[in-house]
Structure 1
Amino acid sequence: MKNTLLVLVGLVMAVANVCAQQTYSIEGSVHSLDSLPISGASVTLLEGSTVKGRAPANTQGVFVFKAMKAGHYTIEVSALGFRKYVRDIAVEQQNLVLSPVRLQANNIAIDEVAVYGKYYQNYKLDSISGSLRLRTSILELPQNIQVISSDIMADQQVFDIVDGITRNISGATRQGHWDNQYANIRMRGSKIPAFRNGMNIEASWGPTAEDVSMIERIEFVKGPAGFMLASGEPGGFYNVVTKKPSGQQKGSVSFNMGSFSTYRGALDFDGKLSQDGKLLYRFNVAAQQKDYFTKYNYSNRVAVAPVLTYKVDTATSITMEYTYQGSTYLANGNYTFSPKQFADPAIDNDFFYGDPSFEPGKLRDHSAYLYLDHSLNSKWKLHAQLAYFNFNMTANSTWLIYMKANGNMPRNWSIADETGENRFAQFSFNGEERTGNIRHRILIGGDFGNKKFWGDFRELLDSIPLELNVYNPQYGVPGSAFPIIDRSQSTKVRAGGSNYVSSVSYMSFYAHDELAFLEDKLRLSLGLRYTDAQTVGKTGATDLKDNVLSPRAGLSYSINKATSGYALFDQSFVPVSGTDWEGNAFKPIRGNNIELGLKREWFGGRWISTLSGYVIKRQNQLVTDYDHPMPGGSAQFFQKQEGEAKTQGIELDISGELFRGLNVNMNYALTDSKITKSTDETVIGNITPNTAKHTANAWVNYRIQKGLLRGFGLMGSVQTMFDRAIGTTKEANFKNYVRTDGGLSYQKKRYTISFLVNNLLDNRSLLTAGSTTKANADILAKGGVDYYTYIVEARRNMRLGIMYKF
């Protein structure tokens, strides 16, 4: 592999020097008068009255035009909330680097052109966030990265990360387990970790699902990318980018209501705390009451997210961010059980496996970030960040002991307290240099982390007095039946006695260079990451220490200004905490990814399509061990490792504005994931559990642009999953999933009203399921039988949203 890469680099460099042509690049940046970069500013290059190109500013405010001939041009720069900027330039036999463009704020109220034009909805984003470190545009990156904008989240009336987000990404699915607390998203054959602002915050069961009020965008990175920020799964990860101060005085207030006693309010304030613009703020707060479609179950939450940025000077800024999320809920899932089958038609859709007399669970999640950004010069930047996470959950849990043929399910009752602490640090240097005709975009950095988890899952009541019948559930367990939980000692102390303690520590260093040849049309990416990790599992398990080198090589070629093709080879390494049901510590997950793709922007960059094919080999695959629930009858299961899984597939994503007023997000994925190596030969060839071979989704939003009905909008979506597999199987064994949504909206100047009906056709849809649980000899002697565990979705329901922007 090394020799091949050296030959390739030498060949490309030789061709670059021979084939150099007399064309040049134009590069610049867009900032406010306070020297803040204006991400997404529209930059148009004209020769006379002819448009020669459009290049939106990336998250650092940088724009680039390539392969331009010598001559005289005009640059026009515009951005929402700022006055238009026009400038004449001349390209004379060399690459041109412009002085920064500084836009003056426009204090006039938002006019209808901005509201109803391309500024209203922005489903297509051209650049990744600064938290992913790279400066290359999405079109030119040798990797499949899909971005969900805040606009599409607002249109879909989602409330948090698990609330329908996955419909926007090809091949991404959610399992539905622990939706009251945690996101559980799968992609390319495995559960993918959660990142926030470029840090891997995945915890033993978490992290807490982010409230949408704090989210600016969500980036789904497909395939490994640990070289650029932190260790991650070979299938990829999702990165939640939180809202930061923009330097503009603006804000919004929104109110939502809907089925199941849903009420929600949110505020977003963005502006300056000092007249000189050095001290900026962003403040988001949201509160909601939300019942579930299952009887008695609910999840109420509060989110508070203040952010402060202090601009020390034009080159240096310091940002402090704090987030609090608190929730109160009755049960941590919406499970259904049946002695007969999945989706048992005799069991009501609103079946609840708990009881209204249960003490509510409480989750308190705190996180704090400190960021430092410093421009060493016009080409090099330093970024550093520290983060501390602390979550604490006090809860109880119930689970069936066994199932009887008549539908009776004896249940036990246990404590379900958890505590976690995560500490992170990152630094990176990012810059651009040239050696002759070769451009280098260099990234050097380090990543450090420590994650600790404590859990107390002791069984406190081996049998709840009231047996629940799934066909005729009767509720009302007397409160006196439950023992008093002694929480005089912390969860950390109690977890030690229960042996549920884990810790993962790691440090890593990485370097990456994107070399561009042939007037930057051909780009070769080379990266290498070194990771030193230590994993400490359950008491008595063997501690694991690893030192790993993970290489990366990518190639991207611009066929023309709107089209690029790419090839990628990447490796990943993920230290894993915890143990299997026998107490054996998990081995690190390792993965190899080979990928080819084609990206194209259409109609002047209004929308983009990405087609990719990949093969991933994933060693030490973790899957849920449904045959071994955790002690105490909780709704949580042990996990197990299945040797090696091979996942291969094809993915297609389309997003943007097809024509004026019609915004779409459509995707399709073919995912073929099977276990290829295992100590148990009987499972070789099995489909990786919880995999859908075919997924297809479409979200369409059309807003009338002219005439009497100007401002009215229609929206609709279809979500599908076909050939699904759960448990141990070599063939698809689970019901297909089809869901349709639809709604109406009206937008006039600063007001937006939206009405959305979810599950429009009122289907009874199965979200996910566990494998069939077999009754052992002891259970059979008690009259027990095999049973099925699954999760259904809500039947037809609605949401009404009102937003005012100021």
Structure 2
Amino acid sequence: MGYSFKLTLIASIVSVMIAPTVWAQQRSPLNKVRSTEQTQSKIRQLSEIELANTSAQYLVQSPTPNNQENLGGQVIPITSVKANPTAKGVEVILETPAGTQLQVTNRSAGSNFIVDVSGGQLRLPSGDTFTFRSEKPLAGITEITAQNIDANTVRVTVVGEKALPTVELYDDDAGLVFAVASTATATSGQQPPQQLQAIEPGNQTPQESPSAQGDEPIELVVTGEQDGYTASDASTATKTDTPLRDIPQSIQVIPREVIQDQGAVRLTEAVRNVSGVSLAGTSGDRGEDYTIRGFSANIYKNGFLDDFYSARAFRDNANIERIEVLKGPASVLFGRLEPSGIINLVTKKPLAEPYYNVGFTAGSYSFYRPTLDFSGPLTEDGKLGYRLNVAYENSESFRDFVNKERFFIAPVLSLKIGDNTNLTLEGEYFHTENPLDRGLPVIDNKIADIPISRYLSDPRNQVVVDESKTYLTLNHEFNQNLSLRSAFRVTTASETNNRFVIQPIFATSNNGTINLFNSGPANQYYETYFLQNDLTGKFNTGSVKHTLLFGVEVGRLYNHNLGEKGPDQPINIFNPVYNFSYDGPYETFNNTTTNTNTFGIYLQDQIAVFDNLKLLVGGRFDTYNSETQNFLNSSTTKTDSDAFSPRVGVVYQPTKEISLFANYSRSFTPVSGTTKNGDAFVPERGTGYEVGIKGDFLNNRLSSTLAFYTVTKTNVTTVDPSDLTGTFSIQVGEQRARGIEFDIAGEILPGWKVIGSYAYSDPEITEDNSYPVGNTLANTPRHTGSLWTTYTFQTGSLEGFGFGGGIFANSEAYGDLDNSYTIPGFVRTDAALFYKKNRLRASINFKNIFDVRYFEGTFLRAANPAAPFTVQGTISWQF
């Protein structure tokens, strides 16, 4: 009853975003404003125009006069729609004698470029209305449509096959002209595309030109951040840019706009929008650990593993363009992984046009965060481009004595070496300082009933983390059907406790006194080196189309841990006195070095049997070698393992909007140690089965996924019942997770956007000698759900203003495999107000507005309290 009441109360909160309004100008690109009195008597062909490769966000930015005054309140008839072919693409002409008097509002949604033309109506000379549709007019474009959506608005939609189309908007005496560039041009020695017939009003389809059959791809240049809550494609699932509807696996994408609207500074605030993802803990407020479908999540950045070797602190969102969450075992392309799935962070890349954005965020508990995002070309020919993201953060906390300071910088250089070769150099440096904070203790199998602000350690505790990442990526196209991607990444990370640190070891106490672990200065250092090579080829066997991927990955990891230990220190949780003694004696308790080498080779084929039937088949073979030296007892532990990981998937699309999918996949995780007989442990294996349905609705503005899954992990180590000393283990344990997930995202109506999710999870121990069979896996709520929606006023005096809100709910979860204590469920409510017009964006985010006391994950029998009600304001200016 409590949850039902809260959900009913909170579900009434709505929210919104806005798209800029623009005006049609001269027959030059409308982002170059000219006088509306000037006209041209002749409509030039696309071949006569040098395209500016401008994306939807920056097509037009001219002033917005009052069109109704120009029109005198009359609706201008658009009497014909024609498509004229050109060497580079096609021109779509909305014929009207008053094109310069039509108001144009443009935006993007996924791979759709959408223009709403106000003040006009598709109308034949006879007075009848009509619609226009052109299917597959050129390579990379699925269709172009023009239709009346109300009495005085015409919507033109250009649907990209895999990416946002490149479109230029012009005006002319004859009307409005949309110059749509093909994603293919004629290769050397080939003939240009054949001429398409002009299309008169009606649902006629032009003949398909050769350009749609595989001419040389040209680069699509992005000039601004993409709007929208949906994405049309992702690379995480297949390592190729594949439409989401063609991927036989559950995958969700969180675009930049969702992160921005929700004021998500931390990764945790973004991934809560995805079904089946839960925060498992923060390792003492140092970083984030997640579960997906009951098992530990694998976090990647730009396709490279971003685990504790390279990410020792909370990840920064400043340079994140989007987040892709792939569900289920994924070792087929990524090697050693838990069978949960992948959270892949995709970073921002250089833009073709100058872009400068400066922002500042301030909030509760003295939170301050200035940011900048600069990009553009460095040379006149545009072959060398850059991007620079910088963020600084300084804050206190709702936790006593907890202050944080962070600095992040991420420069990127992109060089176009030739027509078919690009080289990108990307760097990151991150520095953070904050106390180690493990939250509230679990006493008598309950979270202590004390204020969530109470800090139970030495206020002088300070953890300093420094991280650096360097990426070098080479992309080369040998021809239109064969391409190579080579990427190299090196990282370093260090964590230093530069003062004596007291880490809690929470234990049961009758009077509230617990002992704290007394650690002297500790140092951890990590290095990683990874090289990936992916060769992608496209070919046909008869009528069957193939996209074949062959890849090789080599990796090396190194780390050294050194720490000291002193006498335990007591503290009373009800009446803490922060008076600790560091007299010692101290002794080294950890001094180890680990070297790890990995190698993987994989092959994948994406097979289009028919246009509506697609198969995905792949396999990977991995070897893993690790050696750990313990300098305290002069021992060496080696782990050598190998594994083959297959994946098979199928997608059937009975209609254009619906995709039915199913898949089978496996994963592996190396396990160190031996049995009582000295036999080395074999890797843990994950096996996943999944079926589901994906739907695209409202002209691809709204997308959803419904999935049913079963994931089983085998070879789990558990107590060896034949070993009376309790020292050795055997691999007979098994864990299984089953569930249902639903995700939805998109734009219901112009200005009304939504993203939501629900997951039912049933993760349990199915075989074990250490824990009772039937126990639930830790940090996985049985029910999770989210709903976030925004609305932005599109016209009138409130144009540019928006509001939004959402709820994020979890049922209770167990804190350990013993199921000895629980993390209570919660319903959290957020809201937002914002204004976005031209180059200015201002917003206020209200988080946990009902001040709910709740916890997010556990670590070493301590629960992480979530922040109470907070307010966060952000203002940014683009110039």
- Trace 1:131-146 onto structure 2 (pairs within 5 A): 133-146=239-252
1:303 correspondence with 2:435: no
Distance 1:339 1:224, change over 3 A: closer
The whole-number CA distance in structure 1 between the counterparts of 2:564 and 2:732 is 28
User: In the alignment, is the contact (CA less than 8 A) between 2:740 and 2:760 conserved in 1?
Assistant: yes
Q: Find the counterpart in structure 1 of residue 755 from structure 2.
A: 665
User: In the alignment, is the contact (CA less than 8 A) between 2:278 and 2:779 conserved in 1?
Assistant: no
Deviation at 1:595, TM superposition (A): 0.6
1:550 correspondence with 2:652: no
The whole-number CA distance in structure 2 between the counterparts of 1:619 and 1:385 is 33
Q: Find the counterpart in structure 1 of residue 786 from structure 2.
A: 697
Distance 1:75 1:685, change over 3 A: closer
User: In the alignment, is the contact (CA less than 8 A) between 1:615 and 1:648 conserved in 2?
Assistant: yes
Distance 1:523 1:338, change over 3 A: closer
The whole-number CA distance in structure 1 between the counterparts of 2:53 and 2:833 is 40
The whole-number CA distance in structure 1 between the counterparts of 2:535 and 2:842 is 44
Deviation at 1:94, TM superposition (A): 7.8
The whole-number CA distance in structure 1 between the counterparts of 2:476 and 2:394 is 42
Distance 1:92 1:742, change over 3 A: closer
Q: Find the counterpart in structure 2 of residue 354 from structure 1.
A: 457
Q: Find the counterpart in structure 1 of residue 372 from structure 2.
A: 267
User: In the alignment, is the contact (CA less than 8 A) between 1:686 and 1:728 conserved in 2?
Assistant: yes
The whole-number CA distance in structure 2 between the counterparts of 1:398 and 1:367 is 29
User: In the alignment, is the contact (CA less than 8 A) between 2:53 and 2:167 conserved in 1?
Assistant: no
1:50 correspondence with 2:132: yes
The whole-number CA distance in structure 2 between the counterparts of 1:166 and 1:44 is 28
Name the TM-score, length of structure 1 as normaliser.
0.80
User: In the alignment, is the contact (CA less than 8 A) between 1:577 and 1:585 conserved in 2?
Assistant: yes
Deviation at 1:166, TM superposition (A): 2.5
1:644 correspondence with 2:739: no
Q: Find the counterpart in structure 1 of residue 68 from structure 2.
A: none
The CA deviation string for residues 537-579 of structure 1, in whole angstroms up to 9 with x for no partner, is 4644642222222111111011111110011011112335699
Deviation at 1:402, TM superposition (A): 4.3
The CA deviation string for residues 721-753 of structure 1, in whole angstroms up to 9 with x for no partner, is 114222245699442122111121111211111
Q: Find the counterpart in structure 2 of residue 526 from structure 1.
A: 617
Larger Rg: 2
Secondary structure, in 3 states, of the residue corresponding to 2:808?
strand
Distance 1:416 1:659, change over 3 A: farther
1:253 correspondence with 2:358: yes
The whole-number CA distance in structure 2 between the counterparts of 1:586 and 1:201 is 25
Q: Find the counterpart in structure 2 of residue 337 from structure 1.
A: 441
How big is the alpha-carbon RMSD for the aligned residues of Structure 1 and Structure 2?
3.7
**Runs of 5+ in structure 1 lacking a partner?**
1-30, 67-72, 111-118, 487-493, 624-638, 772-787
- Trace 1:10-29 onto structure 2 (pairs within 5 A): none
What amino acid maps onto 1:350 in structure 2? S
Q: Find the counterpart in structure 2 of residue 679 from structure 1.
A: 769
The whole-number CA distance in structure 2 between the counterparts of 1:399 and 1:338 is 11
Secondary structure, in 3 states, of the residue corresponding to 1:168?
coil
Q: Find the counterpart in structure 2 of residue 431 from structure 1.
A: 537
User: In the alignment, is the contact (CA less than 8 A) between 1:382 and 1:427 conserved in 2?
Assistant: yes
Which one of 161, 181, 194 corresponds to residue 267 of structure 2? 161
Q: Find the counterpart in structure 2 of residue 589 from structure 1.
A: 684
Q: Find the counterpart in structure 2 of residue 97 from structure 1.
A: 213
Q: Find the counterpart in structure 2 of residue 10 from structure 1.
A: none
What amino acid maps onto 1:393 in structure 2? E
The whole-number CA distance in structure 2 between the counterparts of 1:758 and 1:179 is 22
Deviation at 1:594, TM superposition (A): 0.7
Deviation at 1:102, TM superposition (A): 7.4
Distance 1:652 1:41, change over 3 A: closer
1:376 correspondence with 2:472: no
Secondary structure, in 3 states, of the residue corresponding to 1:228?
helix
Secondary structure, in 3 states, of the residue corresponding to 1:96?
helix
The whole-number CA distance in structure 2 between the counterparts of 1:805 and 1:80 is 22
User: In the alignment, is the contact (CA less than 8 A) between 1:685 and 1:730 conserved in 2?
Assistant: no
Secondary structure, in 3 states, of the residue corresponding to 1:560?
coil
- Trace 1:605-754 onto structure 2 (pairs within 5 A): 605-621=700-716, 643-680=733-770, 682-729=771-818, 733-754=822-843
The whole-number CA distance in structure 2 between the counterparts of 1:292 and 1:595 is 42
Q: Find the counterpart in structure 2 of residue 559 from structure 1.
A: 654
Q: What percent of counterpart residues are identical?
A: 27
Deviation at 1:344, TM superposition (A): 3.6
What amino acid maps onto 1:427 in structure 2? N
The whole-number CA distance in structure 2 between the counterparts of 1:484 and 1:752 is 57
The CA deviation string for residues 269-327 of structure 1, in whole angstroms up to 9 with x for no partner, is 11011001111101111000022211011221100100101111110011111100110
Deviation at 1:766, TM superposition (A): 2.0
Secondary structure, in 3 states, of the residue corresponding to 2:645?
strand
1:392 correspondence with 2:494: yes
Q: Find the counterpart in structure 1 of residue 314 from structure 2.
A: 209
Secondary structure, in 3 states, of the residue corresponding to 1:213?
coil
Deviation at 1:49, TM superposition (A): 4.2
User: In the alignment, is the contact (CA less than 8 A) between 1:544 and 1:587 conserved in 2?
Assistant: no
What amino acid maps onto 2:531 in structure 1? A
User: In the alignment, is the contact (CA less than 8 A) between 2:319 and 2:348 conserved in 1?
Assistant: yes
User: In the alignment, is the contact (CA less than 8 A) between 1:570 and 1:592 conserved in 2?
Assistant: yes
Which one of 448, 451, 455 corresponds to residue 554 of structure 2? 448
What amino acid maps onto 1:292 in structure 2? S
Deviation at 1:789, TM superposition (A): 2.8
The whole-number CA distance in structure 2 between the counterparts of 1:81 and 1:648 is 45
**Runs of 5+ in structure 2 lacking a partner?**
1-48, 57-107, 116-121, 123-129, 145-155, 170-177, 182-194, 197-205, 719-728
What amino acid maps onto 1:798 in structure 2? V
Distance 1:586 1:63, change over 3 A: farther
Which one of 681, 690, 695 corresponds to residue 600 of structure 1? 695
Number of equivalent positions: 703
The whole-number CA distance in structure 2 between the counterparts of 1:121 and 1:37 is 11
The whole-number CA distance in structure 2 between the counterparts of 1:139 and 1:674 is 31
Q: Find the counterpart in structure 2 of residue 411 from structure 1.
A: 516
User: In the alignment, is the contact (CA less than 8 A) between 1:201 and 1:422 conserved in 2?
Assistant: no
The whole-number CA distance in structure 2 between the counterparts of 1:322 and 1:579 is 40
Q: Find the counterpart in structure 2 of residue 796 from structure 1.
A: 869
The whole-number CA distance in structure 1 between the counterparts of 2:849 and 2:674 is 43
Deviation at 1:798, TM superposition (A): 1.2
Name the TM-score, length of structure 2 as normaliser.
0.74
What amino acid maps onto 1:289 in structure 2? N
User: In the alignment, is the contact (CA less than 8 A) between 2:668 and 2:684 conserved in 1?
Assistant: yes
The whole-number CA distance in structure 2 between the counterparts of 1:79 and 1:753 is 29
Q: Find the counterpart in structure 1 of residue 564 from structure 2.
A: 458
Distance 1:185 1:241, change over 3 A: same
The whole-number CA distance in structure 2 between the counterparts of 1:224 and 1:554 is 13
The CA deviation string for residues 150-198 of structure 1, in whole angstroms up to 9 with x for no partner, is 1111111122323x12211101011232364322011011111111111
Q: Find the counterpart in structure 2 of residue 16 from structure 1.
A: none
What amino acid maps onto 1:370 in structure 2? L
What amino acid maps onto 1:552 in structure 2? R
What amino acid maps onto 1:276 in structure 2? D
Which one of 596, 604, 616 corresponds to residue 512 of structure 1? 604
User: In the alignment, is the contact (CA less than 8 A) between 1:601 and 1:608 conserved in 2?
Assistant: yes
Distance 1:37 1:651, change over 3 A: same
User: In the alignment, is the contact (CA less than 8 A) between 1:33 and 1:103 conserved in 2?
Assistant: no
Secondary structure, in 3 states, of the residue corresponding to 1:143?
coil
Deviation at 1:502, TM superposition (A): 2.8
1:242 correspondence with 2:366: no
Distance 1:691 1:195, change over 3 A: same
Which one of 170, 174, 186 corresponds to residue 275 of structure 2? 170
